Structure 1
Amino acid sequence: MVSRVVIDAISKFTTCDAADALQKLKVPHGGFLSGLTMYSPARQSGPTKIVGPAYTVRYVRKNYENAPKPEGHYIDSIPAGSVVFISSPPRLVNAVYGGLMSTRAQASGAVGTIVDGRVRDLQEHRDLEYPVFAREVGTSAPAEVVRVSEVNSPVRLQSDEQDAVINPGDILIADLNGVVCIPQDLAPRIVELMASQADADEKVAADIKAGKTFTDASKEHRSKVKQP
């Protein structure tokens, strides 16, 4: 379990900072989860950022009769401080997450929700000012075609571009640039790497504004960036 101190430290940085650090640690694509973008509180606009441990929910199609069937509703068991990650079956027309779910998640203390699939009731999420990231928007409710099968178990990103798994407790960070999954065992290690890289980039930017070339400024400051 990642400590609150580490989560707060990660919160000071962007998804790009996190991805840069994870690439140095040989995490494929720097942990970036392709295709997931901000829909609430605004569409790809503003300073919204969420950071927290993943609370995963996996939907399956209703004809998967042998898949597990958890008791109760996942929305009533969200730990405070979590990022809810909803996994929808691929190529599903129906939405798997709506406004009432955000109402309950927010009341439970969740910091935001990421939907690997379609979300609906967009204005309701925005009225709550509750952060929601998703792959697409839809209108139809999920019950006719899918059901929840697993809660807090590993889920695979529904993407043809990459093979990525989100584990319960992995740290999810999401902002205007997208979503990054930080393996929980690497979370403490990336803080120093992010701080060093961000500091160097600030100095590079300052030197460029003062008249230096990008090449010269990068050579001076980026050569000093901390490595794993």
Structure 2
Amino acid sequence: MSIKVSDALLKLKVPVPGAGYLKDISPIPSRSQGHNCVVAPISTVLFVPKDQHPVFPLWTQGLVWESNISKDKHWTDYPTPGTIVVMQQPPEQSVALLGDIVATRLKYRGLLGAVIDGRARDVVSCGELCKDGSFQVWSKALSSVGTSMEAKPWAVDVPITIGGVQVSPGDVLCADEGEGVICVIPNDRLQEVADLLPKLKKADDGVLADVQKGEDFLTALKNYPDHYSNK
């Protein structure tokens, strides 16, 4: 699909902050064959500072007062197979939330990938896990330090906020191995976006075809009023 879902959300006045785009999150290189795109429902995990109750930091106000992760389970036992797990890390931390062991567990359970609003590690071995295209990892940054130095998992399948974009369990993530995370579509807007996309793709392909034939850009846009660049 040549058109980006984030453009559809932004330009066609589906009122989602930031077009649902999760900025500054990039794919871990996997050396996979071909170009992988993933569209899947979301599971969420909220991490908090290791030695601090989440009620106190301003960034967690209003989210979760009590942990919903059982003490006899690891958080990787919770995300639903067939989803992509989106993980929110406290800001300014230097630890990684995911390495090759966590990634292996998630892939074994049938998760399609992990998106980390924070740090990952074991890039080479995680890349090997992703080579077959059935699992992908995206993160904001890297670290060699384990999670338990600074962070702990606090709650699963709760609303989280990434770069001003609210992400809720059951929302749909559109992610691209080559371009990073594209956007999050709220579950209650999914049908609206799905109805818009065929028209947008037809217009986008038409504008591209006109420009390839030598048409100037503004004229090409006029030829296709449904293009997302037209207000």
Q: TM-score, normalised by structure 2?
A: 0.83
Spell out, residue by residue over 1:21-60, the C-alpha distance to the aligned partner (whole angstroms, 9 max, x if none). 21121212211011111114259x9622222111101111
Please state if 1:218 is matched with 2:207: no
SS of match in other structure, 1:105: helix
Counterpart-to-counterpart distance in 1, 2:27 and 2:216 = 34
Preserved CA contact (<8 Å) 1:116 1:134: yes
The aligned residue for residue 195 of structure 1 is 198
Which residue number in structure 2 is paired with residue 27 of structure 1?
16
Q: How does 1:115-134 map to 2 (within 5 A)?
A: 115-129=116-130, 130-134=135-139
2:184 to 172, 175, 181: 181
1:183-215: per-residue Cα shift (whole Å, max 9, x none)?
000111111212211111111111122222212
**1:3-18 to 2 correspondences below 5 Å:** 13=1, 17-18=4-5
Instruction: Name the amino acid aligned to 1:50.
Output: V
Choose the corresponding residue for 1:156, options 148, 151, 161: 161
Structure-2 separation of matches of 1:173 and 1:225? 20
Question: Partner residue of 1:141?
Answer: 146
Matched residue, 1:3: none
1:68 aligns with 2:66: yes
Residue 209 (structure 1) aligned with residue 212 (structure 2):
yes
Q: Is the 8 A contact 1:57 1:150 kept in 2?
A: yes
Distance in 1 separating the partners of 2:193 and 2:146: 39
Give the Cα–Cα distance (whole angstroms) in 1 for the partners of residues 29 and 160 of structure 2: 23
| C-alpha displacement of 1:144 | 2.2
The one-letter amino acid of 1:64's match is Q
Residue by residue over 1:50-71, the C-alpha shift from the partner in whole angstroms, topping out at 9 and shown as x without a partner, is 2211110111111224653311
Range moving further from structure 2, 207-216 or 86-95:
207-216
CA contact (8 A) 1:17 1:198 kept: no
* Residues 103 and 90 of structure 1, relative CA distance in 2, 3 Å threshold: same
* Structure 2: runs of 5+ lacking an equivalent: 55-64
Q: For residue 137 of structure 1, report the CA deviation from its aligned partner.
A: 0.6
The letter for the 2-side match of 1:178 is G
Cα distance in 1 for residues equivalent to 2:92 and 2:31: 25
Q: Secondary structure at the match of 1:97?
A: coil
Q: Distance in 2 between matches of 1:224 and 1:39?
A: 35
Distance 1:48 1:145 in 2: 33
8 Å Cα contact 2:46/2:154 also seen in 1: yes
Give a deviation string over 1:75-132, Cα, whole Å, max 9, x none: 1222121001111110001111111111111111111110000000111111111311
Q: Which moved more, 1:204-213 or 1:148-157?
A: 204-213
Query: Is the 8 Å Cα contact of residues 44 and 168 (structure 2) preserved in structure 1?
Result: yes
Please show how residues 94-113 of structure 1 align to structure 2 within 5 Å: 94-113=95-114
Structure 2 CA distance for aligned equivalents of residues 141 and 83 of structure 1:
22
Cα distance, 1:17 vs. partner? 2.1
